[in-house]
Every structure is written in C-alpha cells, then in structure tokens.
Amino acid sequence: AWITNTNCEGLEFLFSLYKPDECNYYRNLFGVDFAHFCKCPDHEKESKATCRMCEDGIENPNFTYTSDTDAYTRTCQQAQDFAEAITRENICTRVMQEVIDKGCKCKDGKGPVFRNNNANKDAATA
C-alpha cells in the first residue's frame, strides 16, 4: 500500500505473520487501518475517525502527483482513497498536506481535514 511501498497482497502476507493483538498494535502505531484500505473481507473499520484530503472534494482527481523516480504512480483520488483508512490526526495532516503540496487541489481550498467522530472533535486545517 502506501507507507510500505507495496500492494495489498504484500500487506496481507505481512500481517498474517502477526497475532490479532499485534495487528491492533501496528494499526495504532502507524495510524492507518491497512485492512480497511485493502478492503479485506469481513473487516469493519473500528475507528470512527475520518481523514479527507479535501473538505469539499478534489479539483483534479486524476492528476498524478508522483514523480518518475517514485516506485509507484499515484493520483489525487488514490490519495483520498488512502486517507479514508487513516485513523490518526497527525498522520492525516502530514501525509495529505504532502500530497496537496505536490499538486493535488481542493475544490474549496480547505484541506486536509481530520474529524474524530468518537469525540465530536473537528480538527480541520486550512
């Protein structure tokens, strides 16, 4: 996937080596629910937190923001798809701001946005 520069198959193998409590530990450590991102069968996202690259949508979803030297090409829409699996505010803000800085544009100019729906906390940044 994203952080490990691999795909969901590689992540599935990696996490198959861990016990369930270890998977929870790494999900919390990395701040990303990789099982949710990879659309694993029968997996429900535990966190109610939401991360969005842009408050009101992406202006250029098909824009490729990666360079020729990156191992994988990624579009702004793929970044938003990944954002939905992020469960920690600091990870959301840092990673999505990096993507915005590389050329992804928010329709309203507001992003990244993180909401912790567990605590009714809106941590939107502009």
Position 42 confidence tier, pLDDT thresholds 50, 70, 90: low
What's the whole-number mean pLDDT along residues 77-93? 88
Separation CA 6–CA 121 (nearest Å) = 32
Q: How far apart are CA 4 and CA 76, in angstroms?
A: 18
Which residue type is seen at 6?
T
Name the band, by pLDDT with cuts 50, 70 and 90, for residue 122: very low
How far is it, in rounded angstroms, from Cα 87 to Cα 44? Answer: 13
Q: Are 35 and 1 in contact (CB under 8 A)?
A: no
Query: Across the chain, what does the average pLDDT equal?
Result: 76
Q: What is the spatial distance between Cα 27 and Cα 57, in angstroms, rounded to a whole number?
A: 26
